[in-house]
Amino acid sequence: EGRPVCILAIETSCDETSVAIVRDGKEILSNVVSSQVETHQRFGGVVPEVASRKHVESITWIIEEAFDQAGVAPAELSAVAVTHGPGLVGSLLVGLVAAKALASALELPLIGVHHIAGHIYANQLVHELEYPFVSLVVSGGHTELVYVESEGRFHIIGQTRDDAAGEAYDKVARALKLPYPGGPHIDRLAHEASEAVTLPRAWLEPDSYDFSFSGLKSAVLAVLNQAGMKGIAFEPAAVARGFQDSVVDVLVEKALRAVQAYGAKQLLLAGGVAANKGLRERLGSRCAEAGVPLLAPPLSLCTDNAAMIAAAAFLKYRRGQFAPFDLKAEPLLKL
Ligand code: KG4
Ligand code: ZN
Protein backbone atom coordinates (compact mmCIF):
# COMPACT_ATOMS: atom_id res chain seq x y z
CA GLU A 1 0.00 0.00 0.00
CA GLY A 2 1.53 3.30 1.08
CA ARG A 3 2.21 6.03 -1.39
CA PRO A 4 0.09 6.11 -4.57
CA VAL A 5 1.82 5.27 -7.84
CA CYS A 6 1.56 8.24 -10.21
CA ILE A 7 2.73 7.59 -13.74
CA LEU A 8 3.18 10.28 -16.36
CA ALA A 9 2.91 8.78 -19.85
CA ILE A 10 3.71 10.20 -23.27
CA GLU A 11 2.25 8.98 -26.59
CA THR A 12 3.50 10.38 -29.91
CA SER A 13 3.58 7.35 -32.20
CA CYS A 14 1.42 8.81 -34.96
CA ASP A 15 -0.49 12.08 -35.28
CA GLU A 16 -1.73 12.61 -31.73
CA THR A 17 0.48 14.28 -29.13
CA SER A 18 -0.75 13.08 -25.76
CA VAL A 19 0.39 13.25 -22.14
CA ALA A 20 -1.47 11.72 -19.21
CA ILE A 21 -1.02 11.31 -15.48
CA VAL A 22 -2.69 8.21 -14.04
CA ARG A 23 -2.80 7.18 -10.37
CA ASP A 24 -2.56 3.52 -9.40
CA GLY A 25 -3.22 2.35 -12.94
CA LYS A 26 -6.90 3.32 -12.79
CA GLU A 27 -7.53 6.93 -11.92
CA ILE A 28 -7.01 9.31 -14.84
CA LEU A 29 -5.91 12.62 -13.32
CA SER A 30 -5.28 14.13 -16.75
CA ASN A 31 -5.22 12.88 -20.33
CA VAL A 32 -4.40 15.73 -22.70
CA VAL A 33 -4.70 14.83 -26.39
CA SER A 34 -3.73 17.26 -29.11
CA SER A 35 -4.78 15.99 -32.51
CA GLN A 36 -3.00 17.00 -35.70
CA VAL A 37 -5.97 15.92 -37.81
CA GLU A 38 -6.61 19.40 -39.17
CA THR A 39 -3.00 19.74 -40.26
CA HIS A 40 -3.02 16.42 -42.12
CA GLN A 41 -6.55 16.72 -43.48
CA ARG A 42 -5.55 18.68 -46.57
CA PHE A 43 -3.09 15.89 -47.52
CA GLY A 44 -5.73 13.19 -46.99
CA GLY A 45 -3.50 11.30 -44.57
CA VAL A 46 -0.64 11.60 -42.10
CA VAL A 47 2.57 13.12 -43.50
CA PRO A 48 5.38 11.76 -41.28
CA GLU A 49 7.70 14.74 -41.61
CA VAL A 50 4.94 17.18 -40.72
CA ALA A 51 3.80 14.97 -37.83
CA SER A 52 7.16 14.96 -36.07
CA ARG A 53 7.53 18.72 -36.44
CA LYS A 54 4.07 19.21 -34.90
CA HIS A 55 4.98 16.92 -31.98
CA VAL A 56 8.07 19.06 -31.31
CA GLU A 57 5.95 22.22 -31.29
CA SER A 58 3.40 20.90 -28.82
CA ILE A 59 5.06 18.39 -26.50
CA THR A 60 6.31 20.92 -23.93
CA TRP A 61 3.02 22.74 -23.39
CA ILE A 62 1.11 19.47 -23.34
CA ILE A 63 3.34 18.16 -20.55
CA GLU A 64 2.71 21.39 -18.61
CA GLU A 65 -1.02 21.13 -19.28
CA ALA A 66 -1.07 17.52 -18.04
CA PHE A 67 0.56 18.57 -14.74
CA ASP A 68 -1.84 21.53 -14.38
CA GLN A 69 -4.99 19.54 -15.05
CA ALA A 70 -3.89 16.74 -12.72
CA GLY A 71 -2.91 19.12 -9.94
CA VAL A 72 0.15 16.95 -9.42
CA ALA A 73 3.65 18.25 -8.70
CA PRO A 74 6.63 16.67 -10.50
CA ALA A 75 7.91 15.40 -7.14
CA GLU A 76 4.78 13.27 -6.75
CA LEU A 77 5.50 11.15 -9.84
CA SER A 78 6.69 7.55 -9.51
CA ALA A 79 7.78 6.91 -13.11
CA VAL A 80 7.73 8.25 -16.66
CA ALA A 81 6.36 6.02 -19.42
CA VAL A 82 6.56 6.39 -23.17
CA THR A 83 5.46 4.59 -26.34
CA HIS A 84 8.67 3.40 -28.01
CA GLY A 85 7.03 1.56 -30.92
CA PRO A 86 5.58 0.68 -33.28
CA GLY A 87 4.90 3.91 -35.16
CA LEU A 88 6.49 6.65 -37.20
CA VAL A 89 10.14 6.91 -36.19
CA GLY A 90 10.31 10.71 -36.21
CA SER A 91 7.16 10.94 -34.12
CA LEU A 92 8.26 8.29 -31.62
CA LEU A 93 11.61 10.05 -31.15
CA VAL A 94 9.97 13.26 -29.94
CA GLY A 95 8.11 11.42 -27.18
CA LEU A 96 11.20 9.42 -26.24
CA VAL A 97 13.43 12.46 -25.93
CA ALA A 98 10.84 14.26 -23.79
CA ALA A 99 10.31 11.21 -21.56
CA LYS A 100 14.04 10.67 -21.04
CA ALA A 101 14.63 14.34 -20.25
CA LEU A 102 11.83 14.33 -17.70
CA ALA A 103 12.85 11.03 -16.11
CA SER A 104 16.48 12.01 -15.79
CA ALA A 105 15.74 15.50 -14.43
CA LEU A 106 13.36 14.04 -11.82
CA GLU A 107 15.51 10.92 -11.22
CA LEU A 108 12.62 8.61 -12.03
CA PRO A 109 12.54 5.21 -13.69
CA LEU A 110 11.66 5.06 -17.39
CA ILE A 111 9.11 2.57 -18.75
CA GLY A 112 8.84 1.67 -22.45
CA VAL A 113 5.37 0.68 -23.66
CA HIS A 114 4.29 -1.07 -26.86
CA HIS A 115 1.54 0.99 -28.52
CA ILE A 116 -0.74 -2.04 -28.96
CA ALA A 117 -0.30 -3.11 -25.34
CA GLY A 118 -1.51 0.41 -24.55
CA HIS A 119 -4.63 0.01 -26.72
CA ILE A 120 -5.39 -3.36 -25.07
CA TYR A 121 -4.83 -2.11 -21.50
CA ALA A 122 -7.01 0.97 -22.11
CA ASN A 123 -9.66 -1.53 -21.01
CA GLN A 124 -7.95 -1.87 -17.62
CA LEU A 125 -8.79 1.78 -16.84
CA VAL A 126 -12.50 0.94 -16.75
CA HIS A 127 -12.89 -2.84 -16.43
CA GLU A 128 -11.64 -5.79 -14.40
CA LEU A 129 -9.68 -8.06 -16.73
CA GLU A 130 -9.70 -11.84 -16.48
CA TYR A 131 -7.02 -13.96 -18.11
CA PRO A 132 -6.78 -15.53 -20.54
CA PHE A 133 -8.56 -13.18 -22.91
CA VAL A 134 -8.59 -12.42 -26.61
CA SER A 135 -8.27 -8.87 -27.85
CA LEU A 136 -9.40 -7.61 -31.23
CA VAL A 137 -7.14 -4.64 -31.94
CA VAL A 138 -8.40 -2.52 -34.83
CA SER A 139 -6.81 0.83 -35.61
CA GLY A 140 -5.46 2.93 -38.44
CA GLY A 141 -2.16 1.06 -38.36
CA HIS A 142 -3.12 -2.35 -36.96
CA THR A 143 -5.60 -5.16 -37.24
CA GLU A 144 -4.71 -8.00 -34.92
CA LEU A 145 -6.26 -10.78 -32.91
CA VAL A 146 -4.15 -11.17 -29.77
CA TYR A 147 -4.39 -14.02 -27.29
CA VAL A 148 -3.31 -12.68 -23.90
CA GLU A 149 -2.42 -15.67 -21.78
CA SER A 150 -1.58 -13.71 -18.63
CA GLU A 151 -0.47 -10.19 -17.74
CA GLY A 152 1.88 -8.91 -20.47
CA ARG A 153 2.05 -12.27 -22.31
CA PHE A 154 0.79 -11.59 -25.79
CA HIS A 155 0.47 -14.03 -28.69
CA ILE A 156 -0.58 -12.68 -32.06
CA ILE A 157 -2.87 -15.31 -33.55
CA GLY A 158 -3.96 -13.36 -36.61
CA GLN A 159 -3.29 -10.09 -38.35
CA THR A 160 -3.94 -8.22 -41.55
CA ARG A 161 -1.98 -9.29 -44.60
CA ASP A 162 -2.36 -5.89 -46.25
CA ASP A 163 -4.34 -2.82 -45.12
CA ALA A 164 -5.34 -2.23 -41.51
CA ALA A 165 -9.10 -1.95 -40.96
CA GLY A 166 -8.89 1.79 -40.18
CA GLU A 167 -6.68 2.32 -43.21
CA ALA A 168 -9.32 0.64 -45.40
CA TYR A 169 -11.98 2.89 -43.84
CA ASP A 170 -9.87 5.96 -44.57
CA LYS A 171 -9.16 4.93 -48.18
CA VAL A 172 -12.79 4.12 -48.95
CA ALA A 173 -13.84 7.39 -47.32
CA ARG A 174 -11.43 9.23 -49.55
CA ALA A 175 -12.91 7.55 -52.62
CA LEU A 176 -16.35 8.70 -51.40
CA LYS A 177 -14.91 12.23 -50.99
CA LEU A 178 -15.41 12.21 -47.24
CA PRO A 179 -12.96 14.07 -44.94
CA TYR A 180 -9.97 12.41 -43.25
CA PRO A 181 -10.08 10.40 -41.01
CA GLY A 182 -12.98 8.72 -42.74
CA GLY A 183 -13.96 6.00 -40.25
CA PRO A 184 -16.56 7.99 -38.31
CA HIS A 185 -18.09 9.38 -41.54
CA ILE A 186 -18.56 5.93 -43.08
CA ASP A 187 -19.96 4.69 -39.78
CA ARG A 188 -22.56 7.48 -39.79
CA LEU A 189 -23.46 7.02 -43.50
CA ALA A 190 -23.78 3.25 -43.02
CA HIS A 191 -26.37 3.85 -40.32
CA GLU A 192 -28.35 6.20 -42.55
CA ALA A 193 -28.42 3.76 -45.49
CA SER A 194 -31.64 2.09 -46.53
CA GLU A 195 -29.83 -0.51 -48.63
CA ALA A 196 -26.37 -2.03 -49.00
CA VAL A 197 -24.19 -2.66 -52.04
CA THR A 198 -23.06 -6.30 -52.01
CA LEU A 199 -19.28 -6.56 -51.56
CA PRO A 200 -16.91 -9.50 -51.03
CA ARG A 201 -15.65 -10.81 -47.68
CA ALA A 202 -12.08 -12.08 -47.39
CA TRP A 203 -12.34 -15.15 -45.14
CA LEU A 204 -8.95 -16.54 -46.32
CA GLU A 205 -8.11 -20.16 -45.37
CA PRO A 206 -10.79 -21.81 -43.18
CA ASP A 207 -8.50 -22.06 -40.14
CA SER A 208 -6.86 -18.65 -40.52
CA TYR A 209 -7.32 -15.76 -38.11
CA ASP A 210 -5.67 -13.39 -40.57
CA PHE A 211 -7.46 -10.54 -42.30
CA SER A 212 -7.27 -8.87 -45.70
CA PHE A 213 -8.98 -5.63 -46.62
CA SER A 214 -7.28 -4.51 -49.82
CA GLY A 215 -9.51 -6.67 -52.06
CA LEU A 216 -12.58 -5.12 -50.45
CA LYS A 217 -11.17 -1.66 -50.98
CA SER A 218 -10.54 -2.47 -54.67
CA ALA A 219 -14.09 -3.81 -55.00
CA VAL A 220 -15.44 -0.50 -53.67
CA LEU A 221 -13.28 1.43 -56.14
CA ALA A 222 -14.51 -0.80 -58.98
CA VAL A 223 -18.14 -0.10 -58.04
CA LEU A 224 -17.47 3.63 -57.99
CA ASN A 225 -15.56 3.53 -61.31
CA GLN A 226 -18.32 1.61 -63.05
CA ALA A 227 -20.95 4.00 -61.81
CA GLY A 228 -18.79 6.90 -62.99
CA MET A 229 -18.23 5.40 -66.45
CA LYS A 230 -21.86 4.63 -67.04
CA GLY A 231 -22.92 7.93 -65.56
CA ILE A 232 -25.13 6.10 -63.05
CA ALA A 233 -25.96 7.94 -59.86
CA PHE A 234 -25.03 5.82 -56.86
CA GLU A 235 -25.95 6.10 -53.22
CA PRO A 236 -22.78 6.76 -51.17
CA ALA A 237 -24.62 5.53 -48.07
CA ALA A 238 -25.32 2.16 -49.71
CA VAL A 239 -21.62 1.79 -50.53
CA ALA A 240 -20.64 2.77 -46.97
CA ARG A 241 -23.14 0.26 -45.59
CA GLY A 242 -21.93 -2.55 -47.86
CA PHE A 243 -18.31 -1.84 -46.96
CA GLN A 244 -18.99 -1.65 -43.22
CA ASP A 245 -21.10 -4.84 -43.26
CA SER A 246 -18.26 -6.67 -44.95
CA VAL A 247 -15.56 -5.44 -42.54
CA VAL A 248 -17.68 -6.03 -39.44
CA ASP A 249 -18.77 -9.52 -40.57
CA VAL A 250 -15.20 -10.79 -40.87
CA LEU A 251 -13.91 -9.07 -37.72
CA VAL A 252 -16.76 -10.36 -35.57
CA GLU A 253 -16.77 -13.95 -36.82
CA LYS A 254 -12.99 -14.40 -36.53
CA ALA A 255 -12.89 -12.79 -33.08
CA LEU A 256 -15.63 -15.09 -31.77
CA ARG A 257 -13.99 -18.15 -33.29
CA ALA A 258 -10.71 -17.19 -31.56
CA VAL A 259 -12.45 -16.73 -28.20
CA GLN A 260 -13.93 -20.22 -28.46
CA ALA A 261 -10.80 -21.94 -29.80
CA TYR A 262 -8.58 -20.44 -27.10
CA GLY A 263 -11.01 -20.77 -24.21
CA ALA A 264 -10.82 -17.06 -23.49
CA LYS A 265 -12.78 -15.66 -20.55
CA GLN A 266 -13.37 -12.28 -22.18
CA LEU A 267 -13.19 -10.50 -25.52
CA LEU A 268 -11.54 -7.08 -25.39
CA LEU A 269 -12.08 -4.57 -28.14
CA ALA A 270 -9.31 -2.02 -28.68
CA GLY A 271 -8.00 0.64 -31.08
CA GLY A 272 -9.53 3.56 -32.99
CA VAL A 273 -11.93 1.42 -35.03
CA ALA A 274 -13.34 0.08 -31.73
CA ALA A 275 -15.27 3.37 -31.75
CA ASN A 276 -17.27 2.01 -34.71
CA LYS A 277 -20.97 1.76 -33.84
CA GLY A 278 -21.69 -1.05 -36.31
CA LEU A 279 -18.82 -3.14 -34.92
CA ARG A 280 -19.84 -2.53 -31.29
CA GLU A 281 -23.48 -3.41 -31.97
CA ARG A 282 -22.76 -6.62 -33.85
CA LEU A 283 -20.04 -7.78 -31.44
CA GLY A 284 -22.37 -6.96 -28.57
CA SER A 285 -25.20 -9.12 -29.87
CA ARG A 286 -22.97 -12.02 -31.01
CA CYS A 287 -21.13 -12.06 -27.67
CA ALA A 288 -24.42 -11.97 -25.75
CA GLU A 289 -25.66 -14.99 -27.77
CA ALA A 290 -22.43 -16.86 -27.16
CA GLY A 291 -22.25 -15.91 -23.47
CA VAL A 292 -18.88 -14.17 -23.91
CA PRO A 293 -18.24 -11.06 -21.80
CA LEU A 294 -17.33 -8.21 -24.16
CA LEU A 295 -15.23 -5.33 -22.85
CA ALA A 296 -14.56 -2.10 -24.71
CA PRO A 297 -13.09 1.20 -23.61
CA PRO A 298 -15.21 4.37 -23.76
CA LEU A 299 -14.85 6.12 -27.12
CA SER A 300 -12.34 8.69 -25.82
CA LEU A 301 -9.97 5.90 -24.77
CA CYS A 302 -10.28 3.95 -28.06
CA THR A 303 -8.30 6.39 -30.21
CA ASP A 304 -4.67 7.22 -29.45
CA ASN A 305 -4.15 8.71 -25.99
CA ALA A 306 -1.52 8.58 -23.24
CA ALA A 307 -3.78 7.31 -20.42
CA MET A 308 -3.76 3.90 -22.10
CA ILE A 309 0.05 4.00 -22.14
CA ALA A 310 0.06 4.81 -18.42
CA ALA A 311 -2.32 1.90 -17.78
CA ALA A 312 0.02 -0.56 -19.51
CA ALA A 313 3.04 1.05 -17.80
CA PHE A 314 1.50 0.56 -14.35
CA LEU A 315 1.62 -3.22 -14.84
CA LYS A 316 5.29 -3.03 -15.82
CA TYR A 317 5.97 -0.75 -12.84
CA ARG A 318 4.56 -3.35 -10.43
CA ARG A 319 6.85 -5.95 -11.98
CA GLY A 320 9.88 -3.67 -11.91
CA GLN A 321 10.18 -3.80 -15.71
CA PHE A 322 12.04 -0.57 -16.32
CA ALA A 323 13.79 0.54 -19.50
CA PRO A 324 17.42 1.59 -19.92
CA PHE A 325 18.03 5.25 -20.73
CA ASP A 326 19.20 4.34 -24.21
CA LEU A 327 15.70 2.99 -25.01
CA LYS A 328 15.29 3.20 -28.79
CA ALA A 329 12.41 4.17 -31.03
CA GLU A 330 11.38 0.99 -32.83
CA PRO A 331 9.04 1.61 -35.77
CA LEU A 332 8.38 -2.14 -36.19
CA LEU A 333 8.48 -3.18 -32.52
CA LYS A 334 6.99 -6.65 -31.92
CA LEU A 335 4.36 -7.18 -29.25
O1 KG4 B 1 -6.04 3.92 -32.83
P2 KG4 B 1 -6.08 5.12 -33.69
O3 KG4 B 1 -6.47 6.43 -33.09
O4 KG4 B 1 -4.69 5.36 -34.37
C5 KG4 B 1 -3.84 4.33 -34.75
O6 KG4 B 1 -3.09 3.80 -33.89
O7 KG4 B 1 -3.91 3.99 -35.96
O8 KG4 B 1 -7.06 4.76 -34.92
C9 KG4 B 1 -7.38 5.69 -35.92
C10 KG4 B 1 -8.27 5.00 -36.95
C11 KG4 B 1 -8.52 5.83 -38.21
O12 KG4 B 1 -8.26 5.01 -39.34
C13 KG4 B 1 -10.02 6.18 -38.13
O14 KG4 B 1 -10.65 6.30 -39.39
C15 KG4 B 1 -10.55 4.98 -37.35
O16 KG4 B 1 -9.56 4.72 -36.38
N17 KG4 B 1 -11.85 5.27 -36.71
C18 KG4 B 1 -12.99 4.64 -37.08
C19 KG4 B 1 -14.03 5.20 -36.27
N20 KG4 B 1 -13.45 6.15 -35.47
C21 KG4 B 1 -12.13 6.16 -35.75
N22 KG4 B 1 -13.22 3.69 -37.99
C23 KG4 B 1 -14.50 3.26 -38.12
N24 KG4 B 1 -15.52 3.75 -37.42
C25 KG4 B 1 -15.35 4.71 -36.48
N26 KG4 B 1 -16.39 5.19 -35.80
ZN1 ZN C 1 -3.26 3.57 -32.02
- Check which CATH number belongs to the domain holding 278 and give it: 3.30.420.40
Distance 302 CA to ligand 1 centre (A): 8
Distance 86 CA to ligand 2 centre (A): 9
Task: Say whether both 25 and 162 belong to one domain.
Answer: no
Band (1; pLDDT cuts 50, 70, 90): low
pLDDT of residue 77: 98
- Whether ligand 1 lies within 6 angstroms of the CB of 140 is answered as yes
**pLDDT at 15 > cutoff 90:** no
Burial class (CB in 10 A: 0-12, 13-18, 19+), 324: exposed
**pLDDT at 42 > cutoff 80:** no
Task: Say whether both 73 and 101 belong to one domain.
Answer: yes
**Binding-site residue set:** 115, 119, 137-141, 170, 183, 187, 276, 304
| φ, ψ (nearest 5 deg) of residue 36 | -100, 10
Average pLDDT over residues 71-78: 97
Task: Say whether both 214 and 306 belong to one domain.
Answer: no
Average pLDDT over the chain, rounded to whole? Answer: 95
Mutate to test the pocket of ligand 1, among 123, 160, 169, 243 (most ligand atoms within 8 A of CB): 169
Distance 125 CA to ligand 2 centre (A): 16
Tell me whether 0.90 is exceeded by the ipTM.
yes
**Residue 207: which residues within 8 A CB-CB, separation 6 or more?**
none
**pLDDT at 70 > cutoff 70:** yes
User: pLDDT digit string (tens) for 103-119?
Assistant: 999 999 999 999 999 99
Task: Say whether both 45 and 163 belong to one domain.
Answer: no
Task: Say whether both 14 and 111 belong to one domain.
Answer: yes
Count of the separate structural domains present in the chain: 2
Task: Say whether both 261 and 314 belong to one domain.
Answer: no
Task: Say whether both 148 and 19 belong to one domain.
Answer: no
Residue 325 covered by a domain: no
Task: Say whether both 148 and 81 belong to one domain.
Answer: no
Measured distance CA(178)–CA(172) in Å, rounded: 9
Nearest CA to ligand 1 atom 8: 272
Q: Where are the alpha helices (DSSP H) in 128-235?
A: 165-175, 183-192, 214-230
Cβ contact 247:168 at 8 Å = yes
Task: Say whether both 99 and 138 belong to one domain.
Answer: no
Nearest CA to ligand 1 atom 2: 272
Task: Say whether both 266 and 309 belong to one domain.
Answer: no
The ligand 1 atom at the shortest distance from the C-alpha of residue 275 is 26
Residue 289 covered by a domain: yes
Q: Which protein residues have their CB within 5 A of the ion that is ligand 2?
A: 139, 304
Task: Say whether both 137 and 286 belong to one domain.
Answer: yes
Task: Say whether both 165 and 251 belong to one domain.
Answer: yes
Residue 26 covered by a domain: yes
Q: State which residues form the domain around 137.
A: 130-296
Measured distance CA(155)–CA(148) in Å, rounded: 6
Average pLDDT over residues 146-157: 98
More confident residue, 36 or 3: 3
Residue 335 covered by a domain: no
